[in-house]
Chain A
């Protein structure tokens, strides 16, 4: 680990300036991802701007929705009464992530910005375009069991590891950011990027921009929801594939649906075409199977992740089944 400066501003503007002014400065929230990356020499900030003194941890009602502060802890959000009542899918996704100890440290902003778990990204002796542009993608011809089947490029085939983000993209959330040029709102679906030729950029956040909150609009998905996560052990592991499903049912007929998958792409993967394939249909396994087929269009596998071509649709079907009976 290298030496670094550490500051704890109490004013949002000071925090933003501190990072905007200094290309080697970065925010730190719970530190559960950043500190690991620093220990491994993957990220080497010279200045840490600790944002934990900023008043950004509230969860409140705002304009027909929930506003969740960027510093709200993953555990606090998952346990929050309003969240459980209005957006139970979000609570499910959060509780499927990491461990209780980590969720007690991790923040909403940090969760969205956690880096990929691609092992080549974590080993500074190996090639990785995301860590060091131009060195090549270690995973492309290497061990790519955990990697993407959608939206990858030949520069990077990594997946975004967050569970929470899968729920947020399904729920049409909006990210509120504040930066040196002022405040802006980014729809969750546009927040994370596909790798293209610039895999070193995970998101569309500009330097110095601070996430202040996430807005989740009210929707009729308060009952029939499921976050189904398949992993190599029963708990405390990243997803091989996960699926978020939220249904509005009229009897057995699907009135509205929201679907997204995790562990399949460089960003949380919203499935709008598959959602449309569900609307107006009966909530049966046959319907779910058709929607899963739509969802899988364009999927392509690498040497070790061909299983995802089958696991992903099956997980989606299972999430839909669970949501229906929830």
Chain B
């Protein structure tokens, strides 16, 4: 395509920034529908067993209460599935826990009743009056204790080519016979997404067979499909609106119990129902990054060539869903290792289902792989950057085919320069300032440059503006802004002339916001829709003007609302006039990934460099400098893209140093219940993150050249920090988070 001109790359401000900072943006708990009612969930207080009895009499009699709904009186959604179906089918989409259907308790705080009242306070008060008796059964919530029961995911049993199936190239477990070898175990605790906005839904049955949901979701189409299926409705009868989503990080990639409960409640009271989770409930029923145990075996030649890697992972899932993620993917393709083995297993525990959390499995896997790379470099007495360069892959060793593009070396160089890598000493503990030990570390990240099918609708309106619509959500990355820029650039219009509308399932189909795939997928749809509009305009211009009719397509230029012709100053047509004459113009496109996905391996790459300070007496760790470099293809908006990188890096600081959801296994219940004891970084924990983009288009993913940013922003940050801590102190922490107690 033409070199992108005016809008692409510029740090244009967010199109919805003003709405957000003035409070004018409406989130899913803020729709004040006439007759609105409020629902509060009652959760189980045991982790496993049955509800022996549930007494709702006091709650029903409480002031303002409209309904107290339990499995005993809840209407059955026609799509309710019988219990005991294959939990891996479908694995994480659409298999929401069905609530209020039976007396079975599958995890602590599982919803056992929903109370609806005329005010939130009354609903909450009445919810406290519901009394349950349980028939308890022994529960299992400890990953380590249950590791002997780990199993191969059903998906892998059925399909040996599945990404979670066992993988081998060369000889299995060849590291064991390597001359120089390393064997180490790594653990990631449960981490919870905790976006600022709590999960919330406003459910409204507009007619007995027409449902509207104002819902916190990353995919309006996916949510529509799930609940249409659950209630046996045609998809068109369910409308899902998610214009603004206050962060999600993956926890709105799934349909959850509270959504089902709110829809049931709205059916019962026959009024709109609003349901917002508490912060405490955000731990128990809307997913988390699963507690994962990993082991890496690695061998290398004395001159620093990796000869073999074995990477095993055991992740946690629930008893009713088999959640899997790509924990081992990066190990298979990042380094030239002739002998490579990966094994992925699951342990089913009596805890709610996990769900992908930013950088998902890849971030978990990268903590192990990139820590092991650092450990091996140390064994070899090699600079860890040099070690990575000696094992750099010029083509994909997993699929034996070329990369679409790979500019990771450029990222290495830029990052090393910016962090001051030359100050790093090979020997740990060599740098200090008073009581603070100083260390440097790096960690690499990668994520598939995924692109899905996406549609887009565009109309040139008689007032000269362009209206584009897509069902896609914008959970914070600035999707709406990027699409506006792409449209403005393609049409030669000012961004102010573009109105991009999103977050509504009645708009043109788009994939769920996730997997760093949105600009890759919806971007080209918007671009193609705008190109189709241009074709229309050219046709319209040609009908009224002989110069345009005779002109070659490529000689017609679009700028500032006019069509002009190269070398013919008199040929000039106004968009608006053309549209008026034609009585409006609209196009719809269906944009699909091209065939290059079969020929090339497509990935975004990142590397993160950290400088840390560790207090030698107290074990406190401060990240004093963080540089994040990305090969993410074309950068559409350096401001929002930089914002993504910085947010992801700060998330990585949380992962490295503090995030940790703790369960007391005796009760199978979380003891971390709010943001005072589940720590995420505050400003004082985050240095000014320096971001570098290679900004080289990848022509194989799409015509825009984008590859995706959201995940690689986090993947590799935690090991960069862990490696820097080792360089500062000589202490290798293999179990996150790196809290002071582990360093003193």
Give A contacts to B, CB under 8 Å: 1-3, 41, 117, 119-120, 122-123, 125-126, 138, 141-143, 145, 228, 230, 232-238, 240, 307, 310-311, 314-315, 317-318, 321
Contact = CB atoms under 8 A, between A and B. Distances in A.
Interface of B is mostly: loop
Contacts of B125: 1-3
Nearest to B278: A39
A240 B620 CA distance: 11
A25 to B, nearest CB: 20
Given A233-B679, A307-B741, A307-B744, A41 B435 contact: no
B616 to A, nearest CB: 9
Contacts of B662: 143
Nearest to A304: B741
A143 B677 contact: no
A315 B744 CA distance: 11
Contact of B618 (A2, A41, A315): A315
A111 to B, nearest CB: 15
Given A120-B671, A143-B664, A314 B622 contact: no
A1 B739 CA distance: 35
B658 A232 contact: yes
B676 interface: yes
Contacts of B664: 126, 138, 142-143
Given A123-B673, A232-B658, A311-B741, A318 B682 contact: no
B538 to A, nearest CB: 58
B681 interface: yes
A314 B684 contact: no
B124 interface: yes
B666 interface: yes
A228 to B, nearest CB: 8
B596 interface: no
B673 A119 contact: yes
Contact of A125 (B45, B657, B658, B676): B45
B390 to A, nearest CB: 37
Of B128, B620, B662, B683, most A-chain CB atoms within 10 Å: B620
B669 A126 contact: yes
Given A232-B658, A235-B682, A318-B615, A240 B740 contact: yes
A318 B684 contact: no
A227 B370 CA distance: 38
A227 B679 CA distance: 22
Contacts of B620: 230
Q: Which of B667, B671, B740 has the most CB of A within 10 A?
A: B671
Chain B: interface residue count, which band? Answer: 35 or more
Given A123-B671, A126-B667, A237-B676, 13 more contacts: A3-B125, A125-B667, A230-B620, A232-B658, A232-B739, A233-B658, A233-B684, A234-B685, A235-B683, A236-B682, A238-B676, A314-B744, A315-B618
Nearest to A318: B617
A149 B460 CA distance: 72
B617 A315 contact: yes
A141 B615 CA distance: 31
B672 interface: yes
Contacts, number: 87
B102 interface: no
A contacts with B: majority SS: loop
B488 to A, nearest CB: 40
A240 B741 contact: yes
Interface in B652-679: 657-658, 662, 664, 666-667, 669, 671-673, 676-677, 679
Contacts of A235: 682-685
B398 to A, nearest CB: 38
Nearest to A127: B667
B619 interface: yes
B618 A233 contact: no
A232 B669 CA distance: 22
Contacts of A138: 664
A228 B619 CA distance: 13
B671 A41 contact: no
A60 to B, nearest CB: 33
Contacts of A3: 125
B121 interface: yes
Interface in B728-744: 737, 739-741, 744
A233 B128 contact: no
Contact of B619 (A141, A145, A234, A311): A311
Contacts of A317: 617
Contact of B740 (A119, A120, A311): A311
A159 to B, nearest CB: 13
A122 B682 contact: no
Interface in B580-636: 615, 617-620, 622
Contacts of B617: 314-315, 317-318
Contacts of A232: 657-658, 679, 737, 739-740
A310 B740 CA distance: 11
B682 A314 contact: no
Contacts of B741: 145, 240, 307, 311
